[in-house]
Amino acid sequence: MDKKSNQAIESIDPRITRAKIQTGNKTDMEGLAHFQTFEVFHQNKRGAQHKHVGIVHAPNPDMALLYAKEQYARREVTANIWVVPSSCVSATEYSDDDIFTTAPKKLYRNPATYKVMDRINAFKERGSKPTDKV
């Protein structure tokens, strides 16, 4: 290693200078080999679905939960958090994404196309009682 790459960083930020960081030091990351990624799922209230929000790096689930809280729940209303090792996720291949194509004539499978939603919404707007005729 040449002399220049081994100097401590001098900064206008006194904290940086105090930390005596060597400019040539690139070995720090090697110690992180035992870290893995965890998928983070966030629930905003009890009973609601947990929704996938991102990942964190951590050496174990306990630490992953600590980090998930800071990164995904600090500014969100939160009831609960799950973390799951990314290695536990099984996924389809993008090259097989044609399996998800739905033929146009099978759109009846999509519940959003049901006409009954209009009547349900109208029922809700009227604030009617369950015994009302729809």
Partner 1 sequence: MNSIEALKELLYKMADDQLIIGHRNSEWTGLGPILEEDIAFSSMAQDKVGQSEHLYNLLHQLGEADADTVAFTRNAGQFHSSKFVELPIGDYSFSLMRHFLFDFAEYLRFESLRESAYEPLAQVAKKFFGEIKYHTMHANTWVNQLGKGNEESHRKMQDSLNYAWNYALGIFEPGPAEKILIDENIFIGEENLQKRWLDVITPLIKNSGLSIPSTDKWKPVYGGRNGNHTEHLQPLLEEMTEVYSIDPSADW
Q: Are 56 and 83 within 8 A, CB to CB?
A: yes
Out of 57, 87, 119, 120, point to the residue binding partner 1 (CB under 8 A).
Answer: 57
In the complex, minimum distance from the CB of residue 66 to partner 1, in angstroms, rounded to a whole number: 5
Amino acid at 125: E
Q: 57 - beta bridge partners?
A: 37
Residues 69-128 that bind partner 1 (CB under 8 A): 69-71, 74
In the complex, minimum distance from the CB of residue 86 to partner 1, in angstroms, rounded to a whole number: 14
Maximal C-alpha separation, the chain: 87
45 binds partner 1 (CB under 8 A): no
Amino acid at 95: S
Out of 43, 44, 67, 82, point to the residue binding partner 1 (CB under 8 A).
Answer: 67
In the complex, minimum distance from the CB of residue 81 to partner 1, in angstroms, rounded to a whole number: 12
Closest CA to 68 of 48, 36, 33, 42: 42
| Paired tokens of 111 | 């519940």
Binding site for partner 1 (CB under 8 A): 14-16, 18-19, 21, 32, 35, 56-60, 62-63, 66-67, 69-71, 74
